[in-house]
A and B are shown apart, each in its own frame.
Chain A
């Protein structure tokens, strides 16, 4: 499977809230442990036990790309990702403001915007997530996998028996 077809798929239900993804993302990209540098962040509602990891969706019609006054943001079809060209970036943070997922970050230490680059095809958040809450899958399969999960739930509800994975 080529990387140009792959996407990050997150199933928040599986998240244990441990934030290891944040740690390894920051260490991989910046050599430092610091969630403020992580491209993926786990949002939490602790009083309800709900944890939702948020990362860049690498949108087809990316708002960050559209809003950038310096044309510094572009789509790389080979790597199936949205990229920032730091030679062009003026650091205005318009992309941070416009992203519907909060996935474009601004690092106040280095004074730079930053976003998920899918670790050039080996996303560390996926590699370290033992519960497979974050997965790296073929874009065509994403909906099928979601259908399977939903179907299992429907079956369990109506038959009171959980289906096992093959």
Chain B
């Protein structure tokens, strides 16, 4: 049964390992995955703990449905206090790691302490061992994974690793599994590095008994048919996430030259069709791959077409890499994007944060805030492809003043660079924004301002807002499972109703993250995809647990509130530019210069933005300062946190 999967507490300082069951009442409150991680983080960390210190717990998990007969239950979640933001550290990734961990007997790991020497954790059919990583430390993310397989003499082992960037404590080092599946954001790789932990390796052959296998199989087929019939997923399955590049860029939603423009010129050069043409010679006509159990198969495969790394196999690039190494830095050339994507994957570094901070440094360089003396002669102007690739390497290995400062994250770097460098930094809560430009989309601006892990598009983005769906359709989606009678607008440039949409999406995404399912299988990019109404059946057939859609909604609300409680404990204050629900002044002050007629010339209206935040807080049951009201905590059963149930 999925429900008999255990939680393990592993102390790397003492070598002590405690294995415990996960009680049913905890499941009913937090389900699993990200939601239960948040509960564990709040309960197992102390206020103000050093993100890179031994007391910061690193939590690794699968969802409650991981590896069951439900569609795409591949997701691994990792949580800790973030070395990048000092707030919630949280990342989610596909691949095959979490299912293997579930077959090895575990749903959650809480890793504390610091190993005396480089180590890795090996989990095999209910048993856990801390092993010497002397032959693996220093290796790239893929070399490390293959070395672990060779050492254990088992090619089926799945590992979650940090790369050289994590070992070097780069504040946005990620955790990786496979070739390119990355738990990219908030620097969880650096937390691994700080613990001398190179990897967690899993291998399991333990049954996960399905509660109602015949029904689970049939419902899974229906679920998959619904998911693969959505046009958005068919397109993802041939082009990957880069399919949105052209459309987003043409209306003016891609920030370029850090934040100077909202549209990339010569964007066609990095369109997925162009990259596909390059790939077809090396990879053949079928070059998409999938995560565990997923029929969307959005991950492209390629070999680097030319240059010193010619022939190296890689996967992607995602939409994020197009923006990070093409759009933001104004280097929209296929080879730069393909090589940049490969380097960050090998080094174990968040592509989004890396590209965003490089483009920020480029603007500072052109503005004269940092000089060629600071960059050791590197010409850090926009459009310099070699400089982008060189910076990736320098950041990973902390070479030179500028790269070393950036490796500490945007806000600490702005303190090193001084002057008004902070004003140019496109971040929320210390985490850089995607290359998206939200000046014409107030709903999306509200999303990045209030997302629990900092500026982020995967925590509450009402992406379907861009489709201009009829109001009746929006109402159908957003009035379930909880009735909503307030205003809604089909217009993406409007402020009306957006706080409810962001609140709804926040709960929807928390839901899939607790289940362990990919967001492409819910109301993210496709308006017709399953959500609260469908999940109770999947849960029942696979685990035997009964929930109503309203109960699942409440669990999502509760888990989001736990993340909020953690952030408030660690210093979140509403309007603080470094730790608050606030966006950079440029959103309010600098009108967009390019894009569609209803986009060009727009800014975010400060007064309306403030009202949106008020309304969003109201929906969440927070007061004007962003703190939960007593009655909200009571309603969600969170009055006594930390409650130490686990």
Residues of A that sit less than 8 Å from B by CB: 13-14, 16-20, 23-24, 27-28, 30-37, 46-49, 51, 108-109, 124, 127-128, 130-131, 162
Q: Assess the B210–A33 pair: CB atoms within 8 A.
A: yes
Q: Assess the A34–B228 pair: CB atoms within 8 A.
A: no
With beta carbons under 8 angstroms apart, the residue of B103, B205, B216, B284 that contacts A27 is: B216
With beta carbons under 8 angstroms apart, the residue of B69, B146, B217, B292 that contacts A47 is: B146
Chain B nearest CB from A57 CB (Å) reads 22
Identify the stretch in B294-302, B498-506, B595-603 within 8 Å (CB) of chain A at 4 or more residues: B294-302
Q: Assess the A20–B295 pair: CB atoms within 8 A.
A: yes
Contact A24 to B286, CB < 8 A, known contacts A33-B208, A34-B207, A49-B301: no
Q: Assess the A130–B224 pair: CB atoms within 8 A.
A: yes
Bound Cα distance A94, B291 (Å): 35
Contact of B375 with A by CB under 8 A:
no
Q: Assess the B295–A34 pair: CB atoms within 8 A.
A: no
Bound Cα distance A117, B206 (Å): 23
Contact A13 to B286, CB < 8 A, known contacts A33-B69, A46-B178: yes
Q: Assess the B290–A31 pair: CB atoms within 8 A.
A: no
User: Told that A18-B292, A20-B292 touch, could you supply 6 new A-B pairs with CB distance under 8 A?
Assistant: A13-B286, A16-B288, A20-B293, A36-B205, A49-B287, A109-B207
Q: Assess the B290–A18 pair: CB atoms within 8 A.
A: yes
Complex contacts, B209 vs chain A, CB 8 Å: 31-32
Q: Assess the A35–B301 pair: CB atoms within 8 A.
A: no
With beta carbons under 8 angstroms apart, the residue of B220, B283, B285 that contacts A49 is: B283
Contact A24 to B220, CB < 8 A, known contacts A17-B290, A131-B286: yes
Bound Cα distance A162, B277 (Å): 13
Query: Nearest B residue to A156 by beta-carbon distance?
Result: B285
Chain B nearest CB from A42 CB (Å) reads 10
Q: List 22 A-B contacts (CB under 8 A).
A: A13-B284, A13-B286, A16-B290, A16-B297, A17-B289, A18-B289, A19-B292, A19-B293, A20-B295, A27-B216, A28-B213, A31-B213, A32-B207, A32-B213, A34-B205, A34-B208, A46-B179, A49-B313, A109-B205, A109-B207, A128-B220, A128-B295
Query: Nearest A residue to B102 by beta-carbon distance?
Result: A33
Q: Assess the A27–B297 pair: CB atoms within 8 A.
A: no
Bound Cα distance A127, B207 (Å): 23
Complex contacts, A48 vs chain B, CB 8 Å: 313
Complex contacts, B431 vs chain A, CB 8 Å: none
Q: B129-155: which residues lie under 8 A (CB-CB) from chain A?
A: 142, 146
Contact of B606 with A by CB under 8 A:
no
Tally of chain B residues near chain A (CB < 8 A): 39
Complex contacts, B291 vs chain A, CB 8 Å: 18
Q: Assess the A34–B206 pair: CB atoms within 8 A.
A: yes
Q: Assess the A51–B210 pair: CB atoms within 8 A.
A: no
Q: B266-290: which residues lie under 8 A (CB-CB) from chain A?
A: 283-290
Q: Assess the A37–B207 pair: CB atoms within 8 A.
A: yes
Contact of B593 with A by CB under 8 A:
no
Complex contacts, A108 vs chain B, CB 8 Å: 205
Query: Nearest A residue to B302 by beta-carbon distance?
Result: A49
Contact of B359 with A by CB under 8 A:
no
Chain B nearest CB from A96 CB (Å) reads 16
Q: Assess the B217–A124 pair: CB atoms within 8 A.
A: yes
Q: Assess the A128–B221 pair: CB atoms within 8 A.
A: yes
4 tightest Cβ-Cβ pairs between the two chains A and B: A18-B290, A36-B205, A31-B213, A16-B290
Chain B nearest CB from A118 CB (Å) reads 16
Chain A nearest CB from B623 CB (Å) reads 45
Query: Nearest A residue to B69 by beta-carbon distance?
Result: A27
Contact of B90 with A by CB under 8 A:
no
Contact of B315 with A by CB under 8 A:
yes
